[in-house]
Chain A
Amino acid sequence: MTIPIEYYLILSGFMFLTGVVGVLTRRNAIVVFMSIELMLNSADLTFVAFSSYLGNSIGQVFVFFVMTVAAAEAAVGLAIIIAVFRNKKTVNIDEINILKW
């Protein structure tokens, strides 16, 4: 028995929305960052689902690239968060506000 593609798409759409809501509502930079990873993973799930549905391997190749880029992004992101923390002693994005309007 195969799982229909709609199930995967609904799951990935839900994951994507969770990520977006997390980015918009959470105030801790690290949690925001985790939400962004969730958005990337939802796109990965869509790629893999379509790839297996269409019998086309390009989607799976794409996922490898996305995973590599996501790892690089996490490395750079955490380094930047540490740089901010050294200067400001907080990672709450509401308190990081010297640049505005």
Chain B
Amino acid sequence: MELKYLFNSLPYIKPELILAASLVIIVVADLIITKKKELLHYIALAGIIAAGYFVLEQFSMNAFAFSSSGNKGMLTVDSMGAFFKGLVLTASFFVFLFSFSSNEINESRSKLGEYYALLFGMILGMFFMISASDLILVYVSMELVSLSSYVLAGITKQSLRNSEASLKYLIYGAVSSGIMLFGISLIFGITGSTNLYEINYILRSPETNRVILLLAGLLVFTGIGYKISAAPFHFWTPDVYEGAPITITAFLSVASKSAGFVLLIRFIKVAFIQNSLNGYWQLLPAVDWKTILLVLSILTMTLGNFAALWQDNLKRMLAYSSIAHAGYMLAAMAVLSNQGLIAILIYFAIYLFMNLGAFFVVMLISNKIGSEEIDNFDGLGYASPFLGVSFAIFLVSLTGLPPTAGFIGKLYIFIALVDAKMFLLSVIMVLNSVVSLYYYMRVLKHLFLRKAEGAPIELKVSFPNAVVLLMLVIPVLVLGLYFTPLVEFAKNSISVLGF
């Protein structure tokens, strides 16, 4: 690869360059600023906004970057990638705003520099994961995300809960990435290439060894399944979500999951596609992805919803609920069509607001009462009606009831399933939503119908926090009624380069 090609590719990775620069700036600023560490919050926000500006450019791009020969590159810049990059940046924006008032983060203020440096490392890794079209880059960027998040899960270090979450995350993560690496080595052995487009080209020839390819595909799926916390690779999710600082939990539940989904979409849609007929993807007969995704999605949503039923810790309950949501999105993936892909994009955009909102409310309340146990939330809906009502809106949306945005997300997945005549899966999805109603409403019962024991607790939402909360509530309500722009936007952002 000549130096000229490298320079030619730089315009395609402007957002990544901004993120890397922000990382360095934060590390340096952390050294210089000794008194007013709060400034780091603003530097981080500025970095996110600057990167966002360049992501907007990428919606109209369609190109390979860092290609050594011909047109097969390490990176693909396309509108689907830009959509998910925008999603990751929006999630980071909100998480940075949450960090202003999180007790857990403010108590270890001396670590604020590391906190943001690692977060930027994680966002950078996600960006590369989103646009990676080469297995080397897939592996390295996944590890960048994982290594930063292992440390972030235990960043406060004081409590055992934190370090235990960090250790469990590390062990599960390292094992699944090891398994994935072995799968990649087998794929390399079969095809002699690590580029997804070249792999696709070679797999089209009939003499590939199907058994090894199936094994390799499953092994690689283990690594991706761990990132999106699909059953049976979800075991870390509840422990890490409960133990990690709540800002990190919120970030993992949205951003990490979305980066994992893009990887899954790219892996299946680029490496295993034969041709696309009326928007339905005809995959190579080598691996039966449809059945695999179907079974795993049923398993994931059922397990997530049923395990959430008897959780008393709200963070843990939201962890199982996020597993269930991964199951719904896997169902849309199992359709293997453009319509399913649109449904995933819509669902993710909505899931971002409702899930971050739910975590934000839990954070604000637990800042005050120092606990996330559901019994300690009794009667708190009346202590601050604004907080209580917004929590109710988020939970109703997570259940998927109209008139909130969650309903629209589920509706589009449902339409995609019915159009593809996958009735069994759609029925199971509806039944699962009914189950989820129980545990979401149980929280509301505690908030509004139970009497608080002891002295009433004063809950005041400060003005900046109220603004952040409104920024999350309003999209959930508005997208529930006026969703056409989002749908159109998603329809325009599904072009995956090459097919």
Contact = CB atoms under 8 A, between A and B. Distances in A.
Interface of A: 9, 16, 19-20, 23, 29, 32-33, 36, 39-40, 42-44, 46-47, 49-51, 53-54, 56, 58-59, 61-62, 65-66, 69, 72-73, 76-77, 79-81, 83-84, 86-88, 93, 96, 98-101
A46 B242 contact: no
A83 B164 CA distance: 9
Given A80-B163, A99-B239, A36 B175 contact: yes
Contacts of A79: 151
B12 interface: no
Given A43-B185, A50-B188, A58-B188, A84 B167 contact: yes
Q: Which 9 A-B residue pairings sit nearest by Cβ, starting from the closest?
A: A39-B178, A46-B185, A50-B189, A43-B181, A99-B239, A87-B160, A83-B163, A43-B182, A36-B174
A58 B140 contact: no
B147 interface: yes
Nearest to A77: B170
26 contacts: A20-B179, A23-B175, A36-B171, A43-B182, A44-B185, A47-B185, A54-B192, A62-B136, A69-B143, A73-B147, A76-B170, A80-B154, A80-B170, A81-B167, A83-B157, A83-B166, A84-B160, A84-B167, A87-B160, A87-B163, A93-B167, A93-B171, A96-B167, A98-B161, A98-B164, A99-B243
Judged by DSSP, the binding face of B is helix
B494 interface: no
Contact of B192 (A56, A73, A77, A101): A56
B188 A59 contact: yes
A79 B139 CA distance: 22
Contacts of B186: 46
A100 B239 contact: yes
B491 interface: no
A84 B163 contact: yes
Interface residues of B, number: 39
Contacts of B161: 98-99
A101 B264 CA distance: 28
Given A56-B192, A62-B188, A65-B136, A80 B150 contact: yes
B286 to A, nearest CB: 18
A18 B117 CA distance: 37
Most buried by A among B135, B147, B159: B147
A3 B160 CA distance: 51
A58 B157 contact: no
B356 interface: no
B179 A76 contact: no
Given A80-B163, A98-B160, 11 more contacts: A23-B175, A36-B178, A39-B178, A43-B178, A46-B188, A56-B193, A59-B188, A69-B140, A77-B150, A87-B160, A99-B164
A58 B181 contact: no
A58 to B, nearest CB: 6
B175 A39 contact: yes
B168 interface: yes
Interface of B: 135-136, 139-140, 143, 147, 150-151, 154, 157, 159-161, 163-168, 170-171, 174-175, 178-179, 181-182, 184-186, 188-189, 192-194, 238-239, 242-243
Contacts of B154: 80, 83
Contacts of B175: 20, 23, 36, 39
Nearest to B212: A9
Given A43-B185, A46-B186, A80 B147 contact: no
A61 B136 CA distance: 9
Contacts of A51: 188
A58 B184 CA distance: 12
Most buried by A among B154, B164, B179, B193: B164
Contacts of A16: 182
B124 to A, nearest CB: 14
Most buried by B among A43, A58, A59, A72: A43
B108 to A, nearest CB: 13
A62 B163 contact: no
A40 B178 contact: yes
A17 B189 CA distance: 19
Nearest to B240: A99
A66 B167 CA distance: 21
Contacts of B188: 46-47, 50-51, 58-59, 62
Contact of B193 (A58, A80, A100): A58
Nearest to A15: B182
B320 to A, nearest CB: 10
Contacts of B151: 76, 79-80
Contacts of B164: 84, 88, 96, 98-99
Nearest to B313: A99
B174 A33 contact: yes
A32 B171 contact: yes
B185 A50 contact: yes
A29 B160 CA distance: 16
Most buried by A among B160, B178, B179, B192: B178
Contacts of A33: 171, 174
Contacts of B238: 99, 101
Contact of B174 (A43, A49, A65, A73): A73
A51 B188 CA distance: 9
Most buried by A among B159, B161, B192, B239: B192
Nearest to A96: B164
